[in-house]
Amino acid sequence: MTDWQNSPAAEDYTVDELMIAVLADQFRNGDQCCNGMASFIPVAAFMLARLTHAPDLVWLPSSGGLESRPDRIPASTLEAPLWRDSIMYIEQYSDFWNFVLNGRWIKKFCVGAAQLDQFGNANNSVIGDDYHAPRVRLPGTAGLADMGSIGKKLYYWNPNHSPRSMVEKVDFVSAAGYLNGGDARERLGLQGGPQLVVSNLAVMDFHPTSKRMQLRSTHPDVSIGQVTEATGFELQMPESAVPETRPPTQKQVRLIRETIDPDNMRKREFHRKS
Amino acid sequence: MDKVLKIEQAAALVTDGSILALGGLSMNSSPMAFVRELIRQGKKNLTLVAIVNGMAVDWLVAADCVRRVISGLVSFEGMGLAPNFRHAVESGVVTLEEYSEYLLIARLRAAATNLPFIPTKAGLGTDVIGLHPETTRLETDPVTGEAYVACTPLPVDVAIVHAHAADVLGNVRVDPKLLWMDNEIVNAAAKTIVTVETIVPHSSFIAEPHRTTWPRFITDAVAEVPWGAYPTSCFPKYGHDKAFFSAYSKAARNPECFRTFWDSRLAGPDTHAAFLQANGGAATVNRIRRPTT
């Protein structure tokens, strides 16, 4: 598995595979990471990181088994097949929360949401102006609201980058990002916060002082104009030129397709009409 | 004292208008046979406490048993939104009191331990806190000046959980011990009803006390319902029935199809065994059964 980095850039790959490779790169050897439900892309990224540069990555799926070794990504990221060859079962959720509420452990959380705004606040609760009469009732905050406030570094993935999913202001703050920007998050006594947004068009991060979302790289064959047009707010531009997102290597693509996710679960959240 | 009841008798303990907490998590270990019995008995105006749930809430909402849902999440995960729940909340038929997962755990713990509140930083900065300023109070510690959320007690009338085994006295075993948030609801509840895959001899608890999950003084009634979490899973015996979830979601797109599905495959069958039969019987059971390890 050591040849993954020297493997040539893949020419035959799809955007889900590129997103997985970009996210995998964020999780280093020795990091402790966790994910939420319906999280095929994060799970694939953790599995890819473990098979390549981060064999000692600690992975806490949001339920059941700790440090499991599933033979492939199953249809639910909250159920038994994902716990295969775990080193322990999480007997109850309060154990999970004891691990994550402690500031020392499990510092990285990879998650998606229906809406993200320019300060990295996330919404998975309602679409519409009136919370009590929503246009769409979404699944709910679940652990998202908790994880946003307890010092985690948040890594967002968005398979459908559009003005509807990337909005100026979320309809409801299910998870705290940088709130109104600047030092708002810090003033509330919250550590951590959003680090990166990986979408099907580009990679974005946050300006160090304004905390506004800024473009870090565009995916191959995607123009800056396409990204800004698909973004519902003024995306900040870096001072230097915007590079192209590094495509996955052939080896990474092979691992994703043949070992990690032969059933193509990773493609499920893409091109969803909501 | 023998606590074994038929599931019909156990469900009759739930009165209209009560606060009912449902065990399990999402596709795992939901007390579905019990929920189906509540529907058959036509319960009304229930408040559900369902921290992370899907099908159980959707059934009860579809059957018009529910007035209010206290929850962190209701969905079918990768299979989409819970259709009846979604429409009932959007149209205002059902009130949703939304919290995060840990805020609910903290509220249940406050109830379980007789405390005025449990403090946490979880949820701080989100709009969730402002939805119910009386039960999740934004406060500042007078000593350190740190902001926190004060989570007030969430009282529960009846907790209903599904487990692997119990004896007739009401000692209960969840084995392997994957309890989700069932401990939180059981500890907060005035009454606990347990459905189990099987009733086992009392002697087996004495032989292996390390496998006991809840002692008998916690449980009020036990009902034996093999495959009682179907169509959700009961690890390691069986997985959730993906085909049921898909067929249910598909039927829900059209009221007439849903009515047919509801009558023939869901609420119509008069026993849990008949319900399993209506959903494929032995073939389905064999499909979802996990190989023993």
Which CATH number goes with the domain that contains B87? 3.40.1080.10
The reply to whether B158 and B143 lie within a common domain is no
Number of domains observed in the structure of chain A: 1
Condensed to tens digits (0 to 9), the pLDDT of residues B227-272 reads: 999 999 999 999 999 999 999 999 999 999 999 999 999 999 999 9
Is the CB of residue B134 less than 8 Å from the CB of residue B166?
no
Closest CA to A124 of B157, B126, B274, B117: B126
Residue B290 lies in a domain: no
The reply to whether B36 and B23 lie within a common domain is yes
Cite the DSSP H helix spans in chain A. Answer: 15-24, 40-51, 93-101, 144-147, 184-187, 224-229, 250-254
Domain boundaries, position B84: 7-99+154-284
The reply to whether B126 and B261 lie within a common domain is no
Condensed to tens digits (0 to 9), the pLDDT of residues B28-81 reads: 999 999 999 999 999 999 999 999 999 999 999 999 999 999 999 999 988 899
The reply to whether B26 and B95 lie within a common domain is yes
CB contact under 8 A, A145 and B75: no
Query: Is a pLDDT exceeding 60 seen at residue B91?
Result: yes
Where do we find the tokens 């067929």? B247
| Cα pseudo-dihedral A53, A59, A61, A65, rounded to 10 | 120
Question: Is the entire prediction scored with pTM above 0.80?
Answer: yes
Residue B15 lies in a domain: yes
The reply to whether B148 and B164 lie within a common domain is no
Residue A274 lies in a domain: no
pLDDT band at A79, cuts 50/70/90? confident
Which residues of A fall within a CB distance of 8 Å from B146?
189
The reply to whether B238 and B147 lie within a common domain is no
Nearest to B180 among A92, A135, A189 (CB): A92
What is the pLDDT at residue A274? 37
Residue A179 lies in a domain: yes
Query: Is a pLDDT exceeding 90 seen at residue A37?
Result: no
Which residues of B fall within a CB distance of 8 Å from A139?
73-75, 81
Q: Chain centroid to CA A250: how far? A: 22
Q: Degrees (nearest 5) of the Cα angle A117, A36, B184?
A: 115
Number of domains observed in the structure of chain B: 2
Count of alpha carbons within 13 angstroms of residue A52, beta-carbon side = 31
The reply to whether B170 and B224 lie within a common domain is yes
Domain boundaries, position A217: 3-259
Nearest to A146 among B102, B146, B235 (CB): B102
Residue B245 lies in a domain: yes
Query: Is a pLDDT exceeding 80 seen at residue A18?
Result: yes
Condensed to tens digits (0 to 9), the pLDDT of residues A231-248 reads: 999 999 999 999 999 999
Where do we find the tokens 């993906």? B242
Residue B108 lies in a domain: no
Residue B104 lies in a domain: no
Residue A29 lies in a domain: yes
Residue A271 lies in a domain: no
Residue A233 lies in a domain: yes
Which residues of A fall within a CB distance of 8 Å from B126?
141, 145, 148-149, 173-176
Pick the last residue of a domain from B132, B152, B172. B152
**ipTM of the modeled complex:** 0.94
Query: Is a pLDDT exceeding 70 seen at residue A62?
Result: no
CB contact under 8 A, B239 and A92: no
Condensed to tens digits (0 to 9), the pLDDT of residues A138-191 reads: 999 999 999 999 999 999 999 999 999 999 999 999 999 999 999 999 999 999
CA distance B267 to chain A (A): 25
Other CB atoms within 10 Å distance of the CB of residue A249: 20
Chain B residue whose CA is closest to A62 = B180
Which CATH number goes with the domain that contains A245? 3.40.1080.10
Residue A270 lies in a domain: no
Tokens at B138, concatenated:
């934004």
Say if residue A139 is preceded by a cis peptide, omega within 30 of 0. no
CB contact under 8 A, B100 and A143: yes
CB contact under 8 A, A78 and B184: no
CB contact under 8 A, A145 and B100: yes
The reply to whether B137 and B220 lie within a common domain is no
